[in-house]
Structure 1
Amino acid sequence: MSDNNQMNKQDVDIYRDTYLRFLGYSNELGEAFRPIWPKHLVNLSYAVAVAYVLADTVDKAKMVHEKQGSSNRDVAIKAGDVLIWQMFASVIIPGYTINRLTNGTRFMVKRFKVPNARYIPTAIGLASIPFIITPIDKLIDYLMDETYRKYLK
């Protein structure tokens, strides 16, 4: 393997640049399927998402810890940044957004007596996931830049 290929492979963040990233969105699937899944499966989807967030947090803190000259404060700041960002951008806000979309859709199909509408809220929730990811990520970046990150500089 050439040095260039090794460097590119080392630059890959498995939590952000691979399919592992989708584990952070498992709770969104849980929320989309909430109208038709048992509650314990929805809760399990949150457990998977939080486990992903914690693994990414530990990974990023470990990377800072292994850098020469880093302090415990540097490690704590990085861990806090990743934990806060991931919890809001991957779990809390997307989960809430999909929950409200599916709940609102359920209300509308019942109100307008749409026949055979059991799966419509889930379909709406699933279809919305790709459209909410980037705006939420940008919003959390902005909010953290203006609060947490600004305070720590």
Structure 2
Amino acid sequence: MAKKDSTNMLVERFRAAGFKITPQRMAVFQFLEGNTSHPSAYEVYEVVKRRFSTTSFATIYNTLNAAQEMGLVLELTLDPKKRHFDPNTSLHHHILCMKCRRIDDVGGKVLGGFNVDSFEIGDYQVTGFSVDFHGVCPKCRAQQH
């Protein structure tokens, strides 16, 4: 889906949920689309605040929480120091660098394929799962030598 189409879809979903589409919310949507850096709420706030100086952190936080509750972004909790958000909601995993705290995507093929539509554990029907890896990124490893 093209970036503009994705942003339009976010706008439609927020409007359908009764949210007003403010310039600050549009800036959040535009920043997230195609973003692979897994930003924290504060990182999104810093970017939006440069464009709209009166933006509050609460606006950013509430927008991200609403998007997460609607399934439009993933909330990543693999870094215990802060929450991160991922606009890529397809099945994939993440790796956290324990030195610089960078988060990268890991392709779903790492663990083999699971069909969550027919996967059960006990009496549970599994609707999704995530696996988080921890390690040291190439940049930090190079600095160690």
| TM-score normalised by length of structure 2 | 0.27
Which structure would you say has the larger RCO, counting Cα contacts within 8 Å and 6 or more residues apart? 1
Higher share in helix: 1
Higher share in strand: 2
Larger Rg: 1
| TM-score normalised by length of structure 1 | 0.26
